[in-house]
A and B are shown apart, each in its own frame.
Chain A
């Protein structure tokens, strides 16, 4: 669906894999951290807020859907 938001797929993928990894790592210790603030993600990856939002959301989905 074409939206007014422009995102770079590479950033969405990188952020998703990173956040999924973080959730997987914490889950091993019985924790489930809340998603990080966008500013933190934007600084870490040099991405836009929209890319951060979608990347983290995708990471959440992948973790809770059991995607390896």
Chain B
């Protein structure tokens, strides 16, 4: 039976799937046809599925930083055939649901790779989404038996941990980067061209609000215990409420509140004016004493501002983390491009989520916006001629050799 015929008659329900698998697979002599085992995407319609998934969606919105794994698998969209594109994503449930929604109406395959249930950016950066994840899903899905080509479309945000050339070396599959934003995938599949917009990370008001809710949930869950232990249970709702206000305000005001890092923004935006307000209200500035109540609020404000400020860099790929400078006295990354090794391929610029690079007159790239760099190291990892080096790492290596 031809592949096209099998696709047209693919089963609609699980029970029917089992029956049909027996009936249809037997003539081919292979009961384990990977196409029959693959999950065919069907959009959920109706009110009940939405209500049933509501708790999960709320959890994933509020506690976004918590891993939420879904089963690694192959999902078939539309009338995917042997020439249809093969996309890859991580097995973070929220990501998979959103990618599936975006791929409705397209004809393609989606490989959900094992990555500990973490989103693409964090999983790749933390090496949970790595070459082994790709090998694993390629083998278990047996996608090679379903398509004639050997080409994968990876999400661009995995460029900080997954090298394009390493994928080909280890798997034999060629890999290219797709768009950053899930919403751009259908357009990319149609045109197979990435526009400038598809390569950059945005931080729209909606995305910032989502970030604020996610950060608030994570911080409240992890840190409410500390003020409760010091000041008693009564402060818990105030602390949680304060975190919510700060998270929303810093998310929305991040472009206008002074300060380079989020810690500075939180300090300038909340701690300083808040402390002035509390102390002023307490009459301390006018010669009065600093009461326990005021001290409690100042300490809570300090803790809240610091927690909110330090959490942001790990939530958004748009700002560099100030930890390394704060604790070690130096940044962890200082990039340099070796001019004679640069071939002007622009790959560094294409994988940079924030546009740090620009070409010179002779088409060689320069690191023109170091202030924007958030240290993801995607350029360093992907450069095909190793023309980009990290001066900090090189200096450390030199010093350790001297010792």
Contact = CB atoms under 8 A, between A and B. Distances in A.
A1 B74 CA distance: 33
B185 to A, nearest CB: 13
Contact of A9 (B150, B194, B195, B341): B341
B384 A12 contact: yes
A57 B383 contact: no
B165 A57 contact: yes
A61 B176 contact: yes
Interface residues of A, number: 26
Interface stretch (B12-20, B123-131, B241-249, B386-394): B386-394
A45 B346 CA distance: 22
Contacts of A57: 164-165, 168, 174-175, 384
B208 interface: no
Nearest to A49: B169
B194 A66 contact: yes
A1 B383 contact: yes
Contacts, number: 86
A16 B343 CA distance: 10
B350 A13 contact: no
B263 to A, nearest CB: 29
Contacts of B388: 1
B347 A58 contact: yes
B297 interface: no
B165 A54 contact: yes
A46 interface: no
Given A13-B345, A53-B169, A58-B347, A64 B386 contact: no
Interface in A38-68: 53-58, 60-62, 64-67
Nearest to A32: B149
A19 B380 CA distance: 23
A34 B174 contact: yes
B142 interface: no
Contacts of A3: 386
23 contacts: A1-B380, A1-B390, A7-B384, A7-B385, A9-B340, A13-B343, A32-B151, A34-B174, A35-B168, A54-B165, A54-B385, A56-B174, A57-B175, A57-B384, A58-B345, A58-B384, A60-B174, A61-B176, A62-B345, A64-B192, A65-B193, A65-B194, A66-B194
